[in-house]
C-alpha cells in the first residue's frame, strides 16, 4: 500500500512509518491524517506486526504543526461543524491498541508535539525541539497539547510553554518526563527500531494490556485504576501465553507466544 504523505516499511515485526512532507516540515494536513489513520489501521490488523514507529522525513522536523496554510482561510463555523481535529482522537489514537513509539527527529511543534504525545512514548534525537507555539498564531492547542503536555511535564512548564510558545530542547524534555530517552540524532531510527523490536518480541496480548493499563492511569482515579489493573491482570492469567511464559521461565528457555 502506498500513501501520498507517508512512507511505510517493515523491519521484521516492526512497522516504520515516516511523515513525508519535508518541504513543509511534515506539517499535518487532512491528507496526512487520513494516511495515518489508514496506515495504522493496516498495522493494527497485520498479525505479523507487533510494534510501530512514527518519525519524520528530512533532517529538520518530526512535524512543525498542523498545516497553517490549510487552516488560514477556513471559516470558524467549519472548524466547529466539521469537529475539526476530532478524528485524531476517535479514528487514530483510540483505534491503535498495539504499541507505537514516536521517534522525534527535530521540530515537534503545535500539532507535531501533540502527535508525538499521542504515541505510547517518545524517543527523541538530541536535536529534537518540542513546543506549543499556537498562541503566536492567535489560537491554542487543538489536538490535545494543553492536556497531554500538562500531564507529561506538569502545570508549571506546560503553562509556561503554552503562554510563551517557547521550545523545549531534548535534554529538558527528558528531564521533564516528556520523552523516555534521548539518543544521538544519527542513531535515532536504529535505536527506536531496537526498542520496538524488544517490544515486538513480547507476548502481544500482554503488550496491548500493559499499554491499556498505563493509559488508564491518565483517565481515572487511583482506586478505579487499581481495580482495572487487577481485572486485566486476572484476564491475562487465563491466556496460553501466561502458561507458556511461566513454563519457559522454569525450563530456562525462551517463550514461544501465541498472542492469546
Smallest distance from the beta carbon of 7 to ligand CO8, in angstroms? Answer: 18
d(CA 95, CA 66): 21
Asked whether position 7 contacts ligand CO8 by CB under 6 A, the answer is no
The only residue of 35, 120, 134, 241 in contact with ligand CO8, by rule CB under 6 A: 134
Of 164, 182, 175, 165, the closest CA to residue 113 belongs to 165
Binding string, 11-40, against ligand CO8, x = CB under 6 A? -------------xx-x-------------
The answer to whether the CB of 189 falls within 8 A of the CB of 4 is no
Q: Which residues is 104 bridged to in the sheet?
A: 124
Piece of 31-39, 95-103, 120-128, 135-143 that binds ligand CO8 (CB under 6 A):
135-143
d(CA 14, CA 190): 12
Of 73-112, binders to ligand CO8 (CB under 6 A) are 79, 107, 109-111
Q: Which CB atom, from 42 or from 139, has the smaller least distance to ligand CO8? A: 139
Tell me the CA distances in angstroms from 123 to 87, 129, 172, 184, 234, one per residue in order.
24, 12, 13, 10, 31
Residue 27 annotated to the active site? no
Of 181-200, binders to ligand CO8 (CB under 6 A) are none
C-alpha radius of gyration, the chain, whole number: 19
Binding string, 41-70, against ligand CO8, x = CB under 6 A? -----------------------xxxxxx-
Residue 114 annotated to the active site? yes
Smallest distance from the beta carbon of 17 to ligand CO8, in angstroms? Answer: 19
- Other CB atoms within 10 Å distance of the CB of residue 82: 12
177, HSE (Cβ side, Cα atoms, 13 Å): 10
Which residues are at the interface with ligand CO8 (CB under 6 A)?
24-25, 27, 64-69, 71, 79, 107, 109-111, 133-134, 137, 139, 142
Amino acid at each position: 500500500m502506498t500513501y501520498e504523505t507517508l512512507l511505510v516499511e517493515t523491519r521484521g515485526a516492526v512497522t516504520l512509518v515516516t511523515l513525508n512532507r519535508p518541504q513543509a516540515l511534515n506539517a499535518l494536513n487532512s491528507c496526512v491524517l487520513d494516511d495515518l489513520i489508514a496506515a495504522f489501521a493496516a498495522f493494527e490488523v497485520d498479525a505479523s506486526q507487533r510494534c510501530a514507529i512514527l518519525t519524520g522525513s528530512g533532517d529538520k522536523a518530526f512535524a512543525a504543526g498542523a498545516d497553517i496554510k490549510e487552516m488560514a482561510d477556513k471559516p470558524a463555523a467549519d472548524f466547529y461543524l466539521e469537529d475539526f481535529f476530532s478524528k485524531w482522537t476517535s479514528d487514530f489514537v483510540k483505534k491503535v491498541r498495539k504499541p507505537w513509539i514516536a521517534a522525534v527527529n527535530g521540530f515537534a511543534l503545535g500539532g507535531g508535539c501533540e502527535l508525538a504525545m499521542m504515541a505510547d512514548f517518545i524517543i527523541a534525537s538530541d536535536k529534537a525541539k518540542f513546543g506549543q507555539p499556537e498562541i503566536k498564531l492567535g489560537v491554542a492547542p487543538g489536538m490535545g497539547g494543553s492536556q497531554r503536555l500538562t500531564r507529561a511535564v506538569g502545570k508549571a512548564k506546560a503553562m509556561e510553554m503554552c503562554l510563551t510558545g517557547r521550545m523545549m530542547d531534548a535534554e529538558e524534555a527528558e528531564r521533564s518526563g516528556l520523552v523516555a530517552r534521548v539518543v544521538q540524532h544519527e542513531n535515532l531510527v536504529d535505536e527506536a527500531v531496537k526498542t520496538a523490536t524488544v517490544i515486538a518480541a513480547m507476548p502481544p496480548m500482554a503488550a496491548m494490556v500493559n499499554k491499556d493499563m498505563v493509559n488508564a492511569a491518565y483517565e481515572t482515579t487511583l482506586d478505579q485504576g487499581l481495580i482495572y489493573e487487577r481485572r486485566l491482570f486476572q484476564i491475562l492469567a487465563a491466556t496460553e501465553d501466561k502458561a507458556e511464559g511461566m513454563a519457559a521461565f522454569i525450563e530456562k528457555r525462551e517463550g514461544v507466544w501465541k498472542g492469546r
